[in-house]
Amino acid sequence: MKINDNKKEYLNDKYVIKYIDYIKYEKKLSDNTVLSYLNDIEKLYNYDKYYYKLSSEDLNKYLQNFDCLDSKSLAHLITVLRSLYGFLYKEGVISNNPCKDIAMPKIEAKLPDYLTIEEINVLLDVKLEKPNDYRNKAMLELAFATGLRVSELVNLKVSDINFDDCYLRVMGKGKKERIVPIDDTALNYVKFYIVYYRNSLLKNKDSEYLFISSYGTKITRQAFFKLIKSQAEKKGINKEISPHTLRHSFASILLKNGANIRVIQELLGHEDLKTTQIYTHLINEKLKKDYEDYHPRSCKDRA
């Protein structure tokens, strides 16, 4: 099955437009998720048949073009196809759902990279000289203190912070609101940034957003990614670092210190507990280590 380069036709397709409206306004998927769905839908274009005329056999042949993808990327593609064809079937555009028998690849549960508390302390040690430095320090402290997604962090508004009761009001995935507590250290750095440096970054512009770029506008996800990578390099942290690393570190450290996994699920804004359970093998590691350290007949003692 040939893949056509002229993929942009799909952006004008009436069924795709209806589907995008459906996942954006009814399913309440974020803009970034909608874009990722569109990218996968665009891959569906072929010379021979319209996408809504494909059979299960056609789709299986189509998916063979993506054997080079890792299991997670392939699973995302199949998830998008299932969602799209499920919508088309429900709308009566197709009489049979060609995706219903397509199997999902097995995804190996892999714990994301995370930092130790010692590495976190090194990363958060920002040299404070310019307004940007104070903003960066506040962002890093807040990211680790709350475990926010990067999109949640950059979209925070000043009005989302309750300084008296020490919590954030966060709009998460699916436009679901949650309350996340903040520790005093992070809150004080945020307050210091707001009082002394935020206005100088605004450059006489108005913005309701908390974190402001050097151009006086809301800081972007990409800018925070560069910030955290740069800070890690400066501090000699030899790990693959991204904004999500702080989120994983937040969850991992809480779990290792005995926090209930359902509390962590709530703090992270995970709809499904299974998403949070990727961290549970840390508990098993700690149990094994404690057993080896303290049981008189452990294998470690016999080695």
Active site members: 149, 173, 244, 247, 270, 279
Residue 140 near residue 245, CB atoms below 8 Å:
no
d(CA 16, CA 166): 43
d(CA 146, CA 103): 36
Token pair listed for 210: 């908390």
Spell 144-179 as b/e; 16+ CB within 10 A means b.
bbbbbbbbbbbbbeeebbeeeeebbebbbbeeeeee
Burial class (CB in 10 A: 0-12, 13-18, 19+), 241: buried
User: H/E/C letters for each residue in 273-297?
Assistant: HHHHHHHCHHHHHHHHHHHHHHCCC
Q: What type of residue sits at position 244?
A: H
